Amino acid sequence: MAQPYVVSIDQGTTNAKAAVVGLDGSLAATASQAIPLLHVEDNGVEQDPEVVWDAIKTIVRSAVRESGVAPSDIVGLICSTQYSSIIPVDADGRPTMNMVTHMDGRATAAKLKQLPGYKTDNPLRQLKWVRRAGLFPLSTGQDSLSHMRLIKYRFPEVYERTHKFLEPCDFLTMRFSGRITANQCTSLMMLGIDNNSLGRIEYDPDLIRMSRIDADKWPELVPVNSVVGTIRTDVADELGLSPETKIISGANDTQVGGVATGTFSGTHAAISIGTTGVMIAHVDRRKTDPFLGMISMPSPVPDTYFLLAENGIAGKVIEYFLTKLVYPNDGFGDHSSDEAFAALDEVVASVPPGSNGVLFLPWLSGVQSPTPEPSMRGAVMNLNLETTRADLARAAIESLMMNLQWLREGVEKFCKREMTDIIFYGGGAKSREGAQIMADVFRIPVHQAADPEYVVVRGGACLAFKGLGLLDFDEIPDRLQIKEVFKPRPETRDVYADHYTSFRLAFKKMRPLFKRMNPHQRM
C-alpha cells in the first residue's frame, strides 16, 4: 500500500507555500506564490482575502498535480499561517472587508482612543488579561483584538455586517471545510481564552466582556489538531482532491515551526528568518515578561507552551538593502534585478568578519524584543572613504545575527536555561554565510535545515498526521532534515565580541535620538 500523504499550507505575510507531504516527511511536490500587501491611508496594511484564497487554491492545485500522488492517497489538509491578523466574514463566509494584517498601524492605543464610543482599558483590566490570556491589547495595535476593535469603532457598518472574526488560518480552514472554527492556538492574539491551562474549547466570559466585541462574533472553538470535517465537494473537484479528504484545524506559523524543529523536546532552540526574525523555545507553563516583550503561547503539543520571541523585521532588512540600495529603480536609472539575492553569499564571503569596522543598525521599523522600542530606526555607522557595498552587505547580515544574539540572551533569561545549539530555518536560512555568521556570533553550533523555507510546511504535515492518528509527537523530531552544521570559528571570537559590544552601545546611545526624531511612534 502507498504511504498516506497530506496537503500542508504555509501562508506567510507576503508568500504562500503548499506541499504534498508523505508520512515519512518527504515532499512529493511543492508550489509557492507571492501575495501582495495593500497599503492604505493612516499606515494601514491590508490583504484581499479573496486574493489570498485564490493564491492558496492555485498552489494547492499545482502541488497536487505535480506530485503524481493519487487523490485517494491524500488523506488530509492543514493550514498554518501568519497571525495577529483579522478577517471579518459574513454568515456565508464572505469577507466584509479586507484582512487587517499584523503590520497594520491604525489600531494603536492612541488612535483607537480618538474614535467615537471607544473606551481605554484601565490597568486592572490589563492585569486580568495578562494573568489569563498572557498579554493585554498592545499599545502598538498589532494584536488581533485591537484589529477587531478597529473594525467595530472605525468601520461600524462593517462590524454590523460581520458574523465572525477569523484569523487567516481559520479563514482558510473555513473555505476548505465550510465550517467556521478556531482553536486555542489560532485564536491566541484575539485574547479571549484563559491560557493558564491547555486544551481549552471555551472562551473566558470575563475576557469576552472586556473585549467589547459581541460574544456571537467569536468563532466556535475546537480542539487543536482536530478534524473539523471533510473538504467541500466543489473545492475538492477544483483542486483535484478526493471529497473524502479530511480538514484538520491548524496553528500559527510560529507554533508549527516549533513543532517541526522539535523545540518541545531537547535543549536547543530554533530561529526563523523570514520577513521577521523569530526565536522559538519551549517552557512548561504560561509566562509573561513585559520588560522583555516575551510571552509563552499554547502549543499544539500537549502540556507544552512555546516561547514567542520576535525582535522585528529581519529578512525584510536584507530585501530593503538589495532592492533599494543595490538594485534600485529610481531617478538614477533602472538597476533592478530579478535575482537580487543571487550574488549575496559570494559578496559577503569576500569581506572579513566585522565588515571592516562598519556597523549596520537593522531596526528599520522599531524593536519588539528584548527591549521594546517602536521609535528605533536603522542606520549605518563608521563609514569611511574605503567602505564598499560589499562591506555594507556583510554588515547588514551581521546586524541581524547580533540582533538575534541579543534576543537569545532574553530568551535564555525567560526560559532560565542556556541553549546548546540552534536549528535555523526560513528563507534566510538558505544563506550559508548567514548560518556561519550566526554560529560565530552565538558561539554555539547552528544546524541549517534542508529545504528551510518548507520547514513550516513539514511541521504542519506532522500535525495533520497526528490529528489523523497516524503519527505520535515523539516521532516528529526525526522528520526534520539537516543540510549542514556550522560550528563557531575561534578566530572570529574576539572581533564579534567587540562588534557586539558596539552594537548594544549603539542602541543605548541612539535610542534618545530616535525617540526625539520619531515622537509619533511613542504609544
Identify the pLDDT of residue 366. Answer: 87
Give 3-28 pLDDT, tens digit per residue: 999 999 999 888 999 999 999 999 99
Q: What percent of the chain has pLDDT over 70?
A: 99
C-alpha span between 64 and 69 (Å, rounded): 7
Rounded to the nearest 10 degrees, the angle between the axes of helix 168-177 and helix 49-67 is: 60
Give 319-378 pLDDT, tens digit per residue: 999 999 999 999 999 998 888 898 999 999 999 999 999 999 999 988 888 888 889 999
Contact 306, 255 (CB under 8 A): yes
Q: How confident is the model at residue 1 (pLDDT cuts 50, 70, 90)?
A: low
Q: In what order do the strands lie in the sheet with 288-289?
A: 288-289, 294-298, 305-313, 276-283, 269-273, 422-425, 446-449, 482-486
Identify the pLDDT of residue 261. Answer: 94
φ/ψ of 260, rounded to 5, equals: -60, -35
Quickly tell me which residue has 491524500 as its cell.
74
Span 234-242, average pLDDT: 97
Identify the pLDDT of residue 394. Answer: 97
Q: How far is CA 460 from CA 116, 407, 427, in A?
A: 42, 26, 17
More confident residue, 130 or 310: 130
Contact 483, 430 (CB under 8 A): no
Q: How many CB atoms lie within 10 A of CB 348?
A: 23
Give 269-300 pLDDT, tens digit per residue: 999 998 889 999 998 888 888 888 888 989 99
Identify the pLDDT of residue 248. Answer: 98
C-alpha span between 230 and 243 (Å, rounded): 7
With CA atoms as reference, report the closest residue to 312 among 368, 258, 374.
368
C-alpha span between 11 and 32 (Å, rounded): 9
Q: How far is CA 105 from CA 36, 154, 394, in A?
A: 17, 13, 31
Rounded to the nearest 10 degrees, the angle between the axes of helix 432-442 and helix 493-517 is: 90
Give 24-41 pLDDT, tens digit per residue: 999 999 999 999 999 999
Instruction: Spell 9-33 as b/e; 16+ CB within 10 A means b.
Output: bbbbbbbbbbbbbbbebebbbbbbb
Identify the pLDDT of residue 382. Answer: 97
Contact 462, 454 (CB under 8 A): no
Identify the pLDDT of residue 467. Answer: 96
Span 169-191, average pLDDT: 97
Give 89-115 pLDDT, tens digit per residue: 999 999 999 999 998 999 999 999 999
Give 437-476 pLDDT, tens digit per residue: 999 999 999 999 999 999 999 999 999 999 999 999 999 9
Span 405-419, average pLDDT: 93
Predicted structure pTM score: 0.90
Q: How confident is the model at residue 523 (pLDDT cuts 50, 70, 90)?
A: very low
C-alpha span between 219 and 165 (Å, rounded): 7
User: Average pLDDT of the chain?
Assistant: 94
C-alpha span between 269 and 424 (Å, rounded): 9
In 101-233 the beta strands, taken as DSSP E runs, fall at: 164-166, 181-182, 220-221, 227-230
Does position 513 have pLDDT exceeding 60, yes or no? yes
C-alpha span between 474 and 198 (Å, rounded): 19
